[in-house]
Structure 1
Amino acid sequence: MTRRYGVAIVGSGPAGLSAAARAAVRGLDHVLLEKTDHLSDTIFKYQRGKHVMATPVQLVLRSDLEFDAGRREDVLERWRSAADAFTVNVRFHAEVMSVEGSRGAFIIRLSDGGVVEAETVVLAIGTAGNPNRLAIPGAETVRIDYQLDDPREITGEDIVVVGGGDAGIENALGLADPELG
């Protein structure tokens, strides 16, 4: 079944949610396409209890949504509640495979065979969910995890955290003491 919208937004992270909220506030016929069964997959994949930062101070937000710092779970709940309050039209399990066309006549093909037509498309697919893969000989022969969901679930294992950036430090702290994660 094909449905035509004024605006189709691909990705439900902060940018996609903002675009969808603005479309809803303006009364535009819109759809927010999200490939998973929940909003903001990148932040959803952060480890449980992680402190999610707000926007950089030099970036002026023009969003109908609030972007306050807080625990991962609290931020996700605020965004879910806001999406409901703004009556954002979210279509979950809608993985976009291709976008074709031009202004006024886009065709979006989904992995389930569905098709969405839209006058305008907003691509808000982000980049934060793309980990740097370990590029060393033998990396494919050992267990390597690129995401730490809940450090409390990992016990009795020897673990090496590779990387000294923010994520590496947060993961190391979470593994050393799950209450710090």
Structure 2
Amino acid sequence: MTLLELAPRVPVSDRLATLPVVIVGAGPIGLAAAANLVERGIDFVVLEAGDDIADSVRSWGHTRLFSPWKHLVDPASARLLEASASGWTVPDPERAPSGAELFEEYLLPLSSLDAIASRIRTGVEVVAVSREGMDRTRTANRAQTPFAVRLRNEHGEVEELSARAVIDASGTYRTPNSLASSGLSLLGLDEIAEHVHPALPDVFGRDRAAFAGRHTTVVGAGHSAANTLLALVRLAREVPGTRVTWLLRNANAVRVSSSADDELAGRSALGARVDAAVRRGDIEVVDRFEIVRARKGAAGAGGAVAVVGHRAGELVTHSTDVVVNATGFRPDLDLLREIRLDLDDIVEAPRRLAPLIDPNLHSCGTVAPHGFAELTHPEPGFFIVGMKSYGRAPTFLLATGYEQVRSVAAWLAGDMRAATNVELVLPATGVCSTGVGPEASGSCCR
């Protein structure tokens, strides 16, 4: 089967040619998709659920990325910025910025370019995607029928947009994995919700009061968990009574790699720092704990939260004041119920992409270059890109997403040579984590 047979270009009828491409999400990958479409002369609209662009990035802006600037800037975006009157230049290529710096020094200027700013709508949540007048069961003339993108706008009203194609770059940060080891919603979560924080809380900023002088349990074994553990250890040195527990499902503490072969120096050192903190007793490790449910802690029981689970064949209770859910993320597929998807049964990535990103076989730097062909679904003109394209796999790098959208934009423009000529140079990484299981699916490869 040829690439042309694998992913036929959307037939552009007279009406389709007048419609924009809808990009869901104004994060780094969504904005890169916009930049590539600008260069291709293809109209688009970007729909962002947050009140500003890159809402998820801003939520963990206090966290330093592992990748240096040379791996964080999309080539098409850089060309547009450098050609603008702003005087923008690429920041120090070898320095790894924080999320806030990524936003302020790159994403915000990019989103402010006239060709992109005029096409962004913020405070707009996409709630469903389908085809106009047909659900997923209807086939006749499907590829010639515009997409119907239903959204809840900034005024809370529901409306629909017609689109030539849809690029879902909405990411996964808003849909974390469950704390329950079964993957189902945690029983009792409503009782303790006020004591549960998402991954990468701002321990020394907006969230400090929630952790200072309290016992925090971090659940998860990825890099997000490691970052939070180290921040809490530092806080414990400053505030008496601050305690840190690392709760793991595996028999051993599943640590991020501290391989000397990792070209991303910040990530290389992370595992070693966590190991040292565990050896010093700064972090208490509770391993082989399979969480079943949670409830409010009983008075005098040692914490506001009681986490109940199986350990060594027994049902036991772990008491704590605060829980950080660093168990990783999963794609929100509810809005795509009427779209014909072809997803891997395990990681929920596009089926042709899944073998290339399987975390049991690949680290961030060993993912093969891929583009529109691997991202194609049975729904012509629909693509999931960026972190969401990786499903539950934790091996995503921004540079990978940039090449994805470059290829997709070329395909939409009918430039098959550029679409199929996929190239990607990633930093050597070693293994992102060891003993990988669903628990080890934190954000490992920013």
* TM bin (shorter chain): 0.7 to 0.9
Does 2:30 align with 1:16? yes
Q: What's the offset of the Cα at 1:83?
A: 1.6
SS in 2 for 1:17: helix
Matched AA of 2:223: D
Q: What's the offset of the Cα at 1:95?
A: 0.7
Q: CA-atom RMSD, angstroms?
A: 2.8
Of 168, 172, 181, 2:225 maps to: 168
SS in 2 for 1:108: strand
TM-score, with structure 2 as normaliser: 0.35
Report the equivalent of 1:95. Answer: 125
Matched AA of 1:99: V
Report the equivalent of 1:65. Answer: 77
TM-score, with structure 1 as normaliser: 0.79
Q: Distance in 2 between matches of 1:116 and 1:64?
A: 26
- Higher relative CO (Cα under 8 Å, sequence separation at least 6) belongs to 1
Report the equivalent of 1:157. Answer: 214
Larger proportion of helix: 2
Q: Which has the larger radius of gyration?
A: 2
Ranges in structure 2 where 5+ consecutive residues have no aligned partner: 1-17, 79-89, 132-141, 236-446
Report the equivalent of 2:41. Answer: 27
Task: Call closer, same or farther: CA 1:126–1:113 in 2, change over 3 Å.
Answer: same
Matched AA of 1:81: P
Q: Distance in 2 between matches of 1:92 and 1:172?
A: 33
Q: What's the offset of the Cα at 1:164?
A: 3.0
Q: Is the 8 A contact 1:109 1:116 kept in 2?
A: yes
Q: Distance in 2 between matches of 1:30 and 1:123?
A: 13
Q: What's the offset of the Cα at 1:62?
A: 6.4
CA offsets 1:86-134 (integer angstroms, 9 cap, x no match): 6311111111111121545111111231221111211112235432221
| 1:63-142 alignment runs, 5 A limit | 63-65=75-77, 69-77=96-104, 78-85=106-113, 87-88=115-116, 89-101=119-131, 102-103=142-143, 105-111=146-152, 112-135=157-180, 140=189, 141-142=191-192
Task: Call closer, same or farther: CA 1:170–1:160 in 2, change over 3 Å.
Answer: same
Q: Is the 8 A contact 1:21 1:86 kept in 2?
A: no
Moved over 4 A (4+): 136-139
Q: Is the 8 A contact 2:50 2:123 kept in 1?
A: yes
Larger proportion of strand: 1
Q: Paired residues, what number? A: 171
Matched AA of 1:160: T
Ranges in structure 1 where 5+ consecutive residues have no aligned partner: none
Q: Is the 8 A contact 2:147 2:166 kept in 1?
A: yes
Matched AA of 1:146: P
Q: Is the 8 A contact 2:58 2:99 kept in 1?
A: yes
Q: Distance in 2 between matches of 1:74 and 1:126?
A: 20
Q: Distance in 1 between matches of 2:67 and 2:76?
A: 15
Q: Give % identity.
A: 27
Greater mean deviation of Cα atoms: 134-143 or 8-17: 134-143
Q: Distance in 1 between matches of 2:162 and 2:57?
A: 28
Q: What's the offset of the Cα at 1:173?
A: 1.3
Q: Distance in 1 between matches of 2:108 and 2:74?
A: 19
Task: Call closer, same or farther: CA 1:138–1:127 in 2, change over 3 Å.
Answer: closer
